[in-house]
A = this chain, B = another copy of it.
Amino acid sequence: MNRKPLLEYINKYINLTIEEEDILFSKIRYRDYLKDQYIVQQGDVCNSVCFILSGCTKMFYMDKEGQEHIVIFSIEDWWTSDLGSFISQTPADYNVQCLENTQLIQFTNNTLEELYSEIPKLERLFRKIVERAFVASQKRIIRNFSLTAKERYLIFKETYPKIEQRVPQYMIASYLGITKEFLSKIKSQLIQNQ
């Protein structure tokens, strides 16, 4: 299997020797999921974090009214998991479902613990990855408070132009925290005012 995407990604943060690369790839597992399959299900304990090689997933929370709230989309060269469930080994709050056929690399709990002890540098890698994710998450909280839905939509389009094209509009509405009807209204307003 092709090692390139993961190695290129990792090399942005740390440098591995050839031997370390071999250790890494001896422990991880490739997996293929079909469109609509679940990688994580709300209520199950999530036992892996996954690096996406191709495809697209959504992570969402289903509330008591049965409404879906999308936390994040993930595509190639990014990660997906319910990290909260993974790190504390408690039932997942979220679902992760494939929006396209998706190929990924799984790091299970055991895999990761072994890797951390054999290649301590990976501790740094994952610290840096989570740092960035945390910063993005905090930015999103503030945006949700201080910007209107229209402004948030424009930022979303700018930030994730690829995702805009690949997923249905009603899911983008869910990610933005608005209804699909209101997103429709925003889009028609944007078309008129230019």
Contact = CB atoms under 8 A, between A and B. Distances in A.
A182 interface: no
A181 interface: no
Interface string A87-127: 10000010000000000000000000000100010011011
The count of identical subunits is 2
Chain B CB within 10 Å, residue with most, of A116, A131, A132: A131
A135 to B, nearest CB: 4
Contact of A84 (B116, B126, B130, B139): B139
B69 A131 contact: no
A144 interface: yes
Contact of A137 (B116, B124, B138): B138
B63 A134 contact: no
Interface in A16-72: 61, 63, 67, 69, 71-72
Contact of A141 (B63, B71, B83, B123): B71
A2 interface: no
A29 to B, nearest CB: 22
Contacts of A177: 144-145
Nearest to A63: B146
A144 B145 CA distance: 9
Contacts of A61: 142, 146
A154 interface: no
A2 B26 CA distance: 46
A190 interface: no
A140 interface: yes
A133 interface: yes
A159 to B, nearest CB: 15
